[in-house]
Amino acid sequence: MKRFFSSHTLSALLIASIATFSGCEQQTGPVSEKQPETSVESETPAETSNETVSEENSAAIAKKEAAEAALKEGEAIYQKNCQSCHTMSPPAKSAPSIIALAGQYRARYSKKAGAVADMVAFMKEPAVGKSILGSKTFERFGLMPAMSLPDEELEKVAGWLWDQYDPNFEGAGDCE
């Protein structure tokens, strides 16, 4: 009886000490916070000649990327708002095709900016007086409805339309 008691006490003590120990360890466990590695920002002195070239390059790349992004956005605006009437190339659906329109604009305008400005003005408030197209177009298709899109989107889609010009596409196409 006495022996059982003592071994019982012993195991109780053992359990208690394990518990205490592990508890202790949890409390006093090393709190090692990872220290952020100090980044060594080395400012390498750029060679002036190289710097100018790379600056020009990166400006050119940025410009190209911006132009590509605007074109993609323009195409997306076309797909969403114009494609239902304007096909890309003949045959026409219910409006002149984009390729034919681009050809008409290129024939009348030497600069993209002027063409874009007039396209935007037309799309906001279509009128025969603002049109670059002949009366045959209106007889065939009627007048285009006004586009209620933000100016920025109208400019992008107009710029995209101008860029769809295909030099191999000759004549008025379905723009008459």
Interacting residue ranges for ligand HEC, rule: CB under 6 A: 81-82, 84-86, 94-96, 101, 119, 122-123, 126, 131-133, 137-138, 141-145, 147, 157, 161
For residue 8, with 0-12 CB atoms within 10 Å meaning exposed, 13-18 middle and 19 or more buried, which class applies?
Answer: exposed
Q: Who's near 55: CB < 8 A, 6+ residues apart?
A: none
Q: Among candidates 124, 91, 115, 94, which has minimal Cα distance to 164?
A: 115
Q: How far is CA 108 from its chain centroid?
A: 31
- On the CB side of 74, CA atoms within 13 Å amount to 20
Residue nearer to ligand HEC on the CB measure, 141 or 169:
141
Residue nearer to ligand HEC on the CB measure, 30 or 145:
145
Residue nearer to ligand HEC on the CB measure, 76 or 85:
85
Cα 122 to Cα 111, 116, 126, 133, 172: the distances in Å are 17, 10, 5, 12, 19
Nearest distance from C-beta of residue 122 to ligand HEC, angstroms: 5
Nearest distance from C-beta of residue 98 to ligand HEC, angstroms: 8
| Residue whose structure tokens are 């605007």 | 70
Nearest distance from C-beta of residue 167 to ligand HEC, angstroms: 19
Residue nearer to ligand HEC on the CB measure, 34 or 78:
78
Nearest distance from C-beta of residue 171 to ligand HEC, angstroms: 16
Residue nearer to ligand HEC on the CB measure, 158 or 168:
158
Nearest distance from C-beta of residue 45 to ligand HEC, angstroms: 50
CA quadruple 105, 106, 112, 114: dihedral sign: negative
